[in-house]
Amino acid sequence: MKTIRAAAVQFEHAPGDKAANLAKVEYFVGEAAAQGVKLIAFPEMCITGYSHVRELEQQDVMALAEPVPDGASTQSLLRLSRQYEMTIGAGLIELAPDGRMYNAYPVAMPDGRWACHRKLHCFVHPDVGSGNEYTVFDIPHGVRVGVLICYDNNIGENVRINALMGADVLMAPHQTGGARSPSMGLIDPELWRKREEAPEAIKAEFRGRKGRKWLMNWLPARAHDNGLFYLFSNGVGMDGGEVRTGGAMILDTNGDILVETWKPQAEMVVAALDAALRERSQGQRWIKARRPDLYGLLVEPTGEEESIRKIKERYGEVPS
């Protein structure tokens, strides 16, 4: 791995307005280029919008979806990547050649290559399916990158497999915080609407159990245990009827936060990913001490497995 500068971005997307959202992406890419950034992560489905998709009919979701890489949005990412010599990831709904749709995260590289991760645990819409493959690849800047989208990161095995596949950095795009969930809880939208006149009220929610505190229960451990740099990007502001909590941050291979924001606004954080930290990380040493002969139970069904949509619906987190 080579030392590079990386960025994670939070912004409030416009539901269904791909042109407006891509304009925000382009703005932040330009800002990142001025700071020497070579790898930048934008949020989950930030190009198409996220929660509003739950209410759409199948044909409307299909109209919003695009092929990768030939669709206009991925082509825009590839253009920006070449222009700024930067690797860029941003989320959308992919329309696959077989007509299926996926919550996907194309990553554009300045040499014209691209990668695309399909969310492994997707529940945003019944007609948007889950992927079945991990996505780990080399970028032109001397770094090996993996991608896990939102809920994918909650499953520890997913992160460990990315590490075993050689990822130095994990791009972790999200639309989370302030969710109808037992571990978080909803935020009053009025606090977001009054964020400029009373900023401390919304910041307190962002820093509390509905936002940052929930992340701190698990996110640093993912980076620490696997010796990975983590680029956490997230939506901020209104997403459907919920308030996303932003909190864009970059964590190092020890699980320490290099840089973060809790501002109630679109924001970018930038940090250097020091290759020497990865070489010295405990997570990388622990991976070498593994005993795979003991781990057969990990791949044996327990009989308690359920689809992600059933799990979420049980807690009233998504519509049935």
Higher-pLDDT residue of 143, 315: 143
**Nearest CA-CA partner of 135 in 116, 158, 111, 160:** 116
How far apart CA 304 and CA 5 sit, in angstroms, is: 43
319 pLDDT above the threshold of 50: no
Show the beta-strand stretches assigned E in the chain.
4-11, 39-41, 87-89, 92-95, 101-108, 114-118, 128-129, 136-139, 143-147, 169-174, 229-239, 242-245, 249-251, 257-260, 267-273
User: Model confidence over 39-84: pLDDT tens digits?
Assistant: 999 999 999 999 999 999 999 999 999 999 999 999 999 999 999 9
When pLDDT is cut at 50, 70 and 90, the band that residue 87 belongs to is: very high
pLDDT attached to residue 275: 95
For residue 233, give every residue at least 6 positions away whose Cβ sits within 8 Å of its Cβ, in sequence order, or none.
8, 9, 10, 41, 42, 43, 171, 172, 173, 174, 248
**In contact, 58 and 128? CB cutoff 8 Å:** no
Provide the whole-model pTM: 0.96
Task: Return the C-alpha torsion angle 144, 133, 161, 91, nearest 10.
Answer: 60
pLDDT attached to residue 310: 85
Tokens standing for 144?
């090996």
- How many percent of the chain have pLDDT more than 90? 92
267 pLDDT above the threshold of 60: yes
User: Model confidence over 120-161: pLDDT tens digits?
Assistant: 999 999 999 999 999 999 999 999 999 999 999 999 999 999
How far is the CA of 86 from the CAs of 36, 67, 79, in angstroms?
A: 9, 22, 10
Residue ranges and CATH numbers for the domains of the chain are 4-293 (3.60.110.10)
Residue 169, φ and ψ in degrees, nearest 5: -130, 140
Tokens standing for 180?
């109808």
pLDDT attached to residue 320: 39
When pLDDT is cut at 50, 70 and 90, the band that residue 318 belongs to is: low
User: Model confidence over 268-313: pLDDT tens digits?
Assistant: 999 999 999 998 899 999 999 999 999 999 999 989 888 888 888 8
pLDDT attached to residue 181: 87
